[in-house]
């Protein structure tokens, strides 16, 4: 949905052509994590995949993660405590030099490294500089490591800043390709639900009618996570009623807003006086 299959194929093609850094932008629930898993699975025979999916990110955490994966014998350069508390510039330079030497020293025929960064936090300037330094490590004119960054954006953020036209001419720097995971349209939501149901139960492939898909589109705003949550809750309501199929009434019940708890504005002594 939303051209994500084309994005995956284009990213794979650009990596094979030697692009160093690719950025995928999308808001929360837009499918960044599943895309990173699909890319890792598709490229696992060609690359040594390194996934960074910790909730927090910093220069120390990133370097320690890479040292463990690429230079396990030098992993103690940055301890777990230092990675959390912060590292000095001298230690950063030493770790980058160690990683660059390891990337240069790969034997002919060894698979290159690919790093996927899928985290909730934003990368600071120092961490981005470290990654830029590492991608400069080339062996036989090929990058020693290639990076796919999955960046979370806020709803309403301008897509024009990071949009990359898949079918257009690639006139930008290949090391700065950006892709945007947009929201799904009504037709794409209907198709997505149908494909999902075909995988789950072929006989229920048409259980979500056009009316139900329209309701899901209205409540989810085209976000994958919200679509999945609504559909899953509708099945849960249908299961509680021992219904054979999910109906619009089940979906309406699943889409009810969460009941807000009443806030007592009076203090403790007033309530117990």
pLDDT per residue, tens digit, the chain (273 aa), is 788 999 999 999 999 888 889 999 999 999 999 999 999 999 999 999 999 998 888 999 999 999 999 988 888 899 888 888 888 999 999 999 999 888 876 666 678 899 999 988 888 889 989 998 888 876 666 777 999 999 998 887 655 444 333 333 343 344 457 899 999 999 999 999 998 888 888 888 888 999 999 999 999 999 999 999 999 999 999 999 998 889 999 999 888 776 665 555 555 555 555
DSSP secondary-structure letter at 46?
T
The confidence score (pLDDT) of residue 75 equals 86
Closest CA to 181 of 221, 152, 146: 152
Interatomic CA distance for residues 52 and 195, integer angstroms: 30
The confidence score (pLDDT) of residue 201 equals 80
Q: Are the beta carbons of 32 and 53 closer than 8 angstroms?
A: no
Surface-to-core class of residue 8, CB atoms within 10 Å of its CB (0-12 exposed, 13-18 middle, 19+ buried): middle
Look at strands 145-153 and 113-118 and give their pairing: parallel
Interatomic CA distance for residues 115 and 47, integer angstroms: 9
Closest CA to 214 of 230, 198, 201, 202: 230
Closest CA to 228 of 249, 199, 202: 199
The confidence score (pLDDT) of residue 161 equals 46
pTM for the full model?
0.78
The confidence score (pLDDT) of residue 115 equals 95
Which parts of the chain fold into alpha helices (H)? 4-16, 32-43, 59-70, 80-85, 89-104, 125-135, 186-200, 210-220, 224-240, 248-254, 268-271
The confidence score (pLDDT) of residue 169 equals 39
Interatomic CA distance for residues 41 and 267, integer angstroms: 56
Closest CA to 3 of 222, 247, 258, 202: 222
Cα 129 to Cα 11, 26, 103, 175, distances in angstroms? 22, 22, 17, 14
Closest CA to 57 of 135, 125, 119: 119
Q: For the chain, give the number of residues.
A: 273
- Phi-psi group of 135: left, alpha or beta (phi > 0 → left; psi -120 to 50 → alpha; rest → beta): alpha
Interatomic CA distance for residues 99 and 65, integer angstroms: 11
């Amino acid at each position: 949905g939303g051209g994500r299959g084309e994005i995956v194929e284009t990213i794979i093609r650009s990596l094979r052509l030697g692009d160093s850094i690719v950025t995928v932008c999308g808001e929360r629930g837009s499918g960044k994590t599943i895309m990173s898993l699909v890319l890792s699975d598709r490229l696992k025979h060609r690359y040594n995949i390194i996934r960074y999916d910790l909730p927090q990110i910093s220069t120390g955490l990133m370097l320690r993660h890479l040292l463990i994966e690429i230079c396990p014998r030098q992993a103690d350069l940055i301890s777990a405590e230092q990675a959390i508390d912060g590292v000095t510039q001298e230690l950063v330079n030493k770790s980058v030099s160690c990683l660059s030497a390891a990337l240069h020293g790969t034997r002919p025929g060894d698979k290159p490294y690919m790093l996927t960064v899928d985290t909730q936090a934003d990368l600071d300037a120092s961490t981005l500089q470290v990654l830029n330094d590492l991608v400069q490590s080339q062996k036989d004119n090929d990058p020693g490591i290639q990076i796919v960054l999955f960046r979370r954006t806020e709803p309403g953020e301008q897509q024009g800043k990071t949009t990359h036209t898949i079918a257009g001419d690639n006139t930008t720097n290949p090391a700065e390709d950006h892709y945007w995971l947009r929201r799904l349209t009504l037709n794409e939501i209907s198709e997505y639900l149908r494909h999902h149901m075909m995988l789950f139960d072929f006989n229920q492939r048409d259980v979500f009618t056009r009316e139900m898909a329209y309701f899901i589109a209205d409540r989810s705003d085209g976000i994958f996570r919200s679509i999945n949550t609504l559909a899953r809750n509708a099945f849960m309501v249908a299961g509680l009623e021992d219904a054979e199929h999910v109906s619009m009434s089940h979906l309406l019940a699943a889409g009810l807003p969460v009941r807000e708890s009443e806030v007592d504005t009076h203090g403790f002594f007033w309530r117990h006086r």
